[in-house]
Structure 1
C-alpha cells in the first residue's frame, strides 16, 4: 500500500527521484499515465494489469468509455527506476501535469500520484476545506 506525501524535483530531462519507500512496492519498472485532476498516476505492474482488465470490460459502444480508454491508455508508458532511484517522465506527461521543478509524490492506496507542487497545494487547500462534508457523503464508510 502506498501512503504519504513526498517533495521532489524534476530536472530539465524529465528525471525525478521516486521516494525510497515506494520503490520496493513499485518494483524495477511500473506504468505511469495521465491521471485525474491533472496529475500523473503510477501503478505497479500487477495493479496495472488488474486495471487493464477492468477497462477492457467497459462498453466500447459508449462514447464516454471510448474517450476515457483513449485518454488513459494513450498516455501510458512503462518506466524503469535507474540506479539513482529516478524515473524519466515523458514530455507529454510532464506537459499534461505542468511539472516544472517542484513536485509532490503522493501515495494513494494502490497507486502513486505525481503532482506539480502548486497544483497539489491548491487541490489540498480546496479539499481540506470540505473534508468533513466529503466524509459525510461517503455512504457506509466509517473511520
Structure 2
C-alpha cells in the first residue's frame, strides 16, 4: 500500500501546470505509471490520486446502492470534476482551471501527501488550516485513534 509523506511548496504556472517534486515522484507506486486522477476534496482543496488508487476508491463508491438518494448524491459530488492527468516529459501536471478555481489556487500552493493521496491546497488556505489547530490535539487524537492499535489503547503501548 502506498504511504506518502512530506509537505511541498509549489507554484502553479500561468497555464495551470505544477511540477511534481522529485521527492514526491520517488514515492509513486509503479502501478500508477505516471497517471493520476484529480478531484475536489472534502474541504476547499483538490485531491490527487495515483491512478491505481483511484481505481480502488471508485470501485468502492460504485458498490453503493444507487437506489438510495444519499448514495446517489454522494456519488455525484464525489465524481464531479474528476479528471485523468498524466505527467508530461518535464514531470508537470496540467490542472483543470475549474478545479483550480474551486480550490482558490492561483499562485503558490502546498502539496500535502498522506496515506495514498496528495491534497493540493492554496498556500493561504493551507496556512489558515494549520493555524486553526485544535486547542487540545491530544484529546482529538484520543477520540479519533483510541483503541486503533489492535484492541489496545495508546495508553497501553510500551
Same fold by TM-score greater than 0.5: yes
Distance 1:81 1:129, change over 3 A: farther
* Aligned counterpart for 1:140 among listed residues 128, 144, 147: 147
Larger radius of gyration: 2
Question: Aligned residues, how many?
Answer: 143
Residue 6, structure 1, aligned to residue 11, structure 2: no
* Larger strand proportion of the pair: 1
How much is the aligned-residue C-alpha RMSD, in angstroms? 1.6
Q: Distance in 1 between matches of 2:19 and 2:71?
A: 33
Question: Where does residue 68 of structure 2 map in the other structure?
Answer: 62
* Aligned counterpart for 1:20 among listed residues 15, 19, 22: 22
Distance 1:117 1:59, change over 3 A: same
* Larger helix proportion of the pair: 1
For structure 2, list consecutive stretches of 5 or more residues without a partner in the other structure: 149-153
TM-score w.r.t. length of structure 2: 0.83
Q: CA deviation at 1:88?
A: 0.3
Q: Distance in 2 between matches of 1:77 and 1:130?
A: 38
Q: Which runs of 4+ in 1 moved over 6 A?
A: none
For structure 1, list consecutive stretches of 5 or more residues without a partner in the other structure: none
Deviations 1:52-99 (A, max 9, x none): 111011222232221221122121111111122110000111011110
Q: CA deviation at 1:130?
A: 4.2
Query: Taking CA–CA contacts closer than 8 Å with sequence separation of 6 or more, which of the two structures ends up with the larger relative contact order?
Result: 1
